[in-house]
Every structure is written in structure tokens, then in C-alpha cells.
Copies of this chain bind each other. A is one copy, B any other.
Amino acid sequence: MTVGSGFELEKITTLLEGLEETIIFKLIDRAQFRHNSVVYVPGRSGFAGAAQQSLFSLRLRNQEEMDSRFGRFCVAEERPFCTRLPKPKRTVTLPPTGLFVENINAVNLGEKILEAYLGLVPKICRKGDDGHYGSSVEHDVYALQALARRIHYGSLYVAESKFLHDRQRYTKLILAKDAKGLISLLTRPSVEDMIVERIRGKVDFPQARVNPTSRHVIDPAVVHKFYRDSVIPLTKRGEVLYLLNRTLDQV
């Protein structure tokens, strides 16, 4: 059993760890604006003729259309939230992923990530409305993209790495379409505990020198809970999706 050079689990988890600060920074930045709940209400965007959309959904689509033209979604772990996006205008040359999946979009947790994130926003932001609608949705999109990158990267690369390290047992479960068995095989409670504990400290530290009259401080326990109840379970759900869609003949 040989393991592809890009699939040392340690290398992958180190990359995931590095994304934690990015996610935390973006959540803290979003929390500098109030909840501004009107930005999530369809038809209240202020855009003429956008009766079905909220300012948030318009921003997300516009950002992803631009990103798509720049080639963002050519990258395996960059899965979009929107569908029907324009083709890249740029030639993107990437090294082979080493992943074995015919349709990378089979592993797209966008809808669930969005739902979880929108539930988090009122827990990190102060209540009410400060009029900074544009900034709020701008930072929403950045935070969502950072979360999606982390969750999809984990879904794809952690799953492939685990598969390569225990090909026989995974193959059996994949052939039996046994999602429950797969979840159980890939779950490592001690690793999960370690990650969510690390998160807590990482939220605390960047805020340690903050002047609370100039910055809204977010509660590390909220982000800790979000990682435990959303980021980790969604990543595992993505791992199962990847494995169930993994092509077994190309090993």
C-alpha cells in the first residue's frame, strides 16, 4: 500500500490548521458590524428589480461570478455556493489533485455551510442595525469562502488520505454504500477534541490587546461550539460524500 506524496495526513491537517486563523479573523471582522438583519431579507437589497434577492444573496452571486471568471472554482477545494456561474476567462494551470472523483461538485456542502453560517451571525454580531449593509455582506462572503475552503479541503483530502491508509476497509464500506460505517471509520474523537480546544485559544488571542470601545469582541465559546457542531460534522459529511463518489477502478 503506497500513499501518494500529497496525501500525508499530517501535511493536510497542518494546512487545515493554518486556515483556522483566516476563518477566525474573518468572523471577527464581520462582527465589527451589527447583525443588520435586513441584508438577508429578499427584496430589500435596494437594487432595482431584485425582488427575489437579498443584498446578501446578490453580493454572494456577484462575488462568485467574478471569482469564477478568475478561475477560483478550478481549484478542487473551492466549491461555489451558487450554480450557473460563468466560465473562467483565465487559463489556470494546476498540478493534478490526486483525487479520484468524476464530478467534483458531488462534494459540495455549500447549502449546509450557508445555513450554519447564517445561524452563527447573530451569535457573533451585536443586535440591531448600524447601516453598514455593504460592509456586512462583503465580510459575510469572505467568511463563508474561508469556511467553505476549510470544509471542502478537509472533505476531499482528508478522506482520500484516510482511504489510502486503509484501502481495504474503506473499499468494502464504499461498495456497500454504508455511510454510517464510513462516518464511524473516519471519526477520531481525540483529534476533534484537540481541534476545537485549539480554536478557543485562537479566538482569544487576536482580541487580547483590543480596545473594547473600538472593537466588538466575540466570545471564543461561540466559535468553539460552531467548530464542534458545524465545521467538524460538515467536514465529515463531505468526507463521506467524497468516499461514496470515489472511483474505485482507478486506484
The reply to whether A63 and B62 contact each other, CB–CB distance below 8 Å, is no
* Given A66-B66, A214-B17, CB of A46 within 8 Å of CB of B92: yes
* Residue A82 CB within 8 A of the other chain: no
The stretch from A18-26, A111-119, A158-166 touching chain B is: A18-26
Interface residues on A, range: 35 or more
What number of copies of this chain does the assembly contain? 2
Bound CA span A29–B29, Å: 13
* Residue A213 CB within 8 A of the other chain: yes
Residues of B within 8 A of A66 (CB): 62-63, 66
Q: Is the interface of A mostly helix, strand, loop or mixed?
A: helix
* Residue A235 CB within 8 A of the other chain: no
Q: A16 — nearest CB in chain B belongs to which residue?
A: B214
Q: A90 — nearest CB in chain B belongs to which residue?
A: B46
The reply to whether A14 and B70 contact each other, CB–CB distance below 8 Å, is no
Please give the residue numbers on chain A whose beta carbons come within 8 Å of chain B beta carbons, in ascending order: 14-15, 17-18, 21-22, 25-26, 28-29, 32, 45-48, 55, 58-59, 62-63, 66-67, 69-72, 75, 89-92, 94-95, 131, 134, 138, 142, 198, 201-202, 205-206, 208-211, 213-215
Given contacts A14-B211, A14-B213, A202-B209, 15 further A-B contacts (CB under 8 A): A15-B214, A17-B211, A18-B211, A21-B210, A21-B215, A47-B90, A55-B90, A62-B66, A62-B69, A62-B70, A71-B134, A95-B131, A142-B142, A206-B206, A208-B208
8 cross-chain CB contacts under 8 A: A21-B29, A45-B90, A46-B90, A46-B92, A48-B89, A59-B70, A62-B70, A67-B138
